[in-house]
Each structure stands twice: as structure tokens, then as C-alpha cells.
């Protein structure tokens, strides 16, 4: 993901999340050397992205999203896999993330990729909803 990808990224972010990240969150992360971020393109258009950060031995996955028409074609899983590979190369041994307890699709994808629910963070989101913290040991 580069700065000039952010129009496409932010457009998807606004479509698929009820509390989307503002653009400057992405800008701030892209300026950090800890960030791992991808976009997926189809015919020159951005159709998905993933962003996270490697700090010490932990990969924190901030956001993964696939444009609605392209969902359910293993693209989310592939981005997750790529992010884990980069994180392992950078010395990470664990990955974790927060996900809305109501987000059936994302929870299923993470479980498929070996993530376990560790605990609930109550009222984690601005709208008062809870998050599961999911965790995986990277190999």
C-alpha cells in the first residue's frame, strides 16, 4: 500500500465498516517503519487491502477488507497469509487482532486461518460494541 492507493482504500473502508478509519490513520501508519500493508488490484482498481504492524515479536492486524463483489474468493485469506509471511520474516512469533463479536464473516476467516478467541474487550468500539481479541502463534 502506497500513499497514492489511499483514495481506493478509503473508499472501500467507508463501504464495509460502520466506523471507518479516517484517511489520516492510514497516512500515519504508512509513515511508520513497523507497518505491513498490502492492496489487491483488479484491472487497475483497488479491490482489497490489509494493514497491520510488527512490533517486537507481535503482529497486530488492524484492518483487512475486500470489496463486496470480490468477497468469498479467498482474497481476505490470501492477504492474511501474506501479512503473516512478512511478519515472520521480520521476526514476529504471534499475531493478534480485535474483531467485532458480531462480525461472523471475519471471525470465520480468522478461525479458518488458525486464530483463536482469547477474550472479549468490552465496549472496544466507539459505538459501544464489544471486540473479541483473537490470537495465533505464527510458524
Ligand X SMILES: CC(C)(COP(=O)(O)OP(=O)(O)OC[C@H]1O[C@@H](n2cnc3c(N)ncnc32)[C@H](O)[C@@H]1OP(=O)(O)O)[C@@H](O)C(=O)NCCC(=O)NCCS
List interacting residues with ligand X (CB under 6 A): 16, 63-66, 71-77, 97, 99, 103-106, 108-109, 112
Beta carbon of residue 75, minimum distance to ligand X (angstroms, whole number): 4
What is d(CA 18, CA 67) in angstroms, rounded to the nearest whole number? 14
Query: Catalytic: which of 98, 115, 124, 132?
Result: 98
Q: Which residue, 6 or 99, is less far from ligand X as judged by CB?
A: 99
Instruction: Report which DSSP code applies to 5.
Output: G
Q: Which residue, 54 or 106, is less far from ligand X as judged by CB?
A: 106
Instruction: Report which DSSP code applies to 48.
Output: E
β-bridge partners, 133: 98, 119
Decide if 110 is catalytic: yes
Contact 6, 20 (CB under 8 A): no
CA angle 112, 115, 117 (to 5 degrees): 120
Strand, coil or helix: what is 123?
Answer: coil
Beta carbon of residue 90, minimum distance to ligand X (angstroms, whole number): 21
What is d(CA 43, CA 138) in angstroms, rounded to the nearest whole number? 33
Q: Which residue, 91 or 104, is less far from ligand X as judged by CB?
A: 104
The residue with its CB nearest to ligand X is: 76
Beta carbon of residue 85, minimum distance to ligand X (angstroms, whole number): 16
Query: Catalytic: which of 13, 84, 110, 115?
Result: 110
Q: Active-site residue numbers?
A: 98, 110
Amino acid at each position: 500500500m502506497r500513499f497514492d492507493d489511499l483514495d481506493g482504500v478509503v473508499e472501500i473502508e467507508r463501504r464495509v465498516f460502520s466506523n471507518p478509519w479516517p484517511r489520516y490513520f492510514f497516512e500515519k501508519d504508512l509513515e511508520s517503519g513497523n507497518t505491513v500493508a498490502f492492496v489487491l488490484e483488479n484491472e487497475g482498481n483497488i479491490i482489497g487491502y490489509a494493514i497491520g504492524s510488527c512490533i517486537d515479536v507481535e503482529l497486530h492486524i488492524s484492518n483487512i477488507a475486500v470489496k463486496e463483489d470480490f468477497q468469498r474468493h479467498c482474497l481476505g485469506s490470501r492477504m492474511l497469509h501474506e501479512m503473516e509471511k512478512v511478519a515472520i520474516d521480520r521476526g514476529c512469533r504471534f499475531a493478534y487482532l480485535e474483531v467485532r463479536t458480531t462480525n461472523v464473516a471475519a471471525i470465520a476467516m480468522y478461525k479458518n486461518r488458525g486464530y483463536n478467541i482469547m477474550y472479549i474487550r468490552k465496549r472496544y468500539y466507539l459505538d459501544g460494541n464489544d471486540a473479541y481479541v483473537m490470537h495465533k502463534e505464527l510458524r
